Amino acid sequence: MRFYAVILLVLFAFFSCANENKSKVDVSNIDIDFSISRFEVDFYNADRESLPKLKATYPYLFPEAFSDSISLAKIADSQEQELFVETQKVYKDFSDVETQLTSLFKHIKYYNPTFKAPNVVTIQSNIDYESRVIYADSLLLISLDVFLGKEHPFYADFPKYISENNTKEHLIVAVAEHIIDQQIPASNNRSFMGKMIYEGKKMALLDWYLPAVSESEKMGYSQEKWQWAVENEAEIWAYFMENKLLFSTETNLNKRFLENAPFSKFYMEQDNLSPGKIGVWMGWKIVQSYLKHNDVYLQEFLKKDETELFNQSKYKPKK
């Protein structure tokens, strides 16, 4: 009987209703197992004698072209050591991030019972924003020097819309985003509306996986940019409708409304007041409306055709 009870519990989790109240999900009994290794600590404290052992511990971080002399030069480099010192000021104690990762992995497993938490390795990438998180099934690399705080002097030359997310608070969002990218099925819908809703599905998964994180943090918006989106929802929707953009397949709409940018491009005088990727935000609103009006299981929701989802969403912008 106990065996069948366990099977039923797993099936229930797998087919959990997608519009389940995400704030009431109990993950306290979800078991996960993962390790955290601090490569940047081990590396920048290494010397010629300890380097062979380090290479044996982290072979995937030492490609053949990466000679011992290059490694030792990096360790001795004053700028890299300065970056290491600044990173340790923020992340010497990693316990709060570990707590966030534990919660994230538990929530993911609640909705995806076959999920196995990856082992986490923290690194320093010389502020490589494009590679701040790397997720490869059983391994998760997190570049801590990209999350030192939006006002950190190291980011003085960064565009504001990028440095806005170089924070400790946004680290867990970046991790969740990279895991979600590998979980959600690809879509063949090339329309602007289809792309918006596809991105909106990803945002909905962020809702379920990170219920304690604010919506503005999930979008990576400052409070001012978030408020602009909320206050102009009806006008944004009217613009999309009046310009017949919803079913357009023009690829330039990606840069204008879906990709990370300082602002969205309506080609209007006050565009700079808007946040970037407003189409992602709008797709999220449509998906939220769909989930509010439809009982659907998570796996069914993820595979749902974007056009069909839109037609069943009953979306009406707030005025």
- CA 251, CA 249: separation in Å to the nearest integer? 6
pLDDT in the model for residue 22:
53
Angle at 174 between CA 34 and CA 102, to 5 degrees: 30
Indicate yes or no: pTM above 0.75: yes
pLDDT in the model for residue 240:
98
* Residue 202 confidence (pLDDT) above 50: yes
Average pLDDT on 179-184 reads 94
Q: How confident is the model at residue 273 (pLDDT cuts 50, 70, 90)?
A: very high
Q: What is the pLDDT of residues 125-148, one digit of tens each?
A: 999 988 999 999 899 999 999 999
Computed over every residue of the chain, the mean pLDDT equals 92
Q: How confident is the model at residue 318 (pLDDT cuts 50, 70, 90)?
A: confident
pLDDT in the model for residue 266:
98
Q: What is the pLDDT of residues 25-51, one digit of tens each?
A: 899 999 999 999 999 999 999 999 999
- CA 35, CA 90: separation in Å to the nearest integer? 20
Contact 222, 164 (CB under 8 A): yes
pLDDT in the model for residue 15:
46
Q: What is the pLDDT of residues 154-176, one digit of tens each?
A: 999 999 999 999 999 999 999 99
Neighbours of 168 (CB within 10 A): 15
Q: What is the pLDDT of residues 86-124, one digit of tens each?
A: 999 999 999 999 999 999 999 999 999 999 999 999 999
Residue with the bigger pLDDT between 54 and 17: it is 54
pLDDT in the model for residue 61:
96
Q: How confident is the model at residue 14 (pLDDT cuts 50, 70, 90)?
A: very low
Contact 166, 147 (CB under 8 A): yes
- CA 247, CA 174: separation in Å to the nearest integer? 30
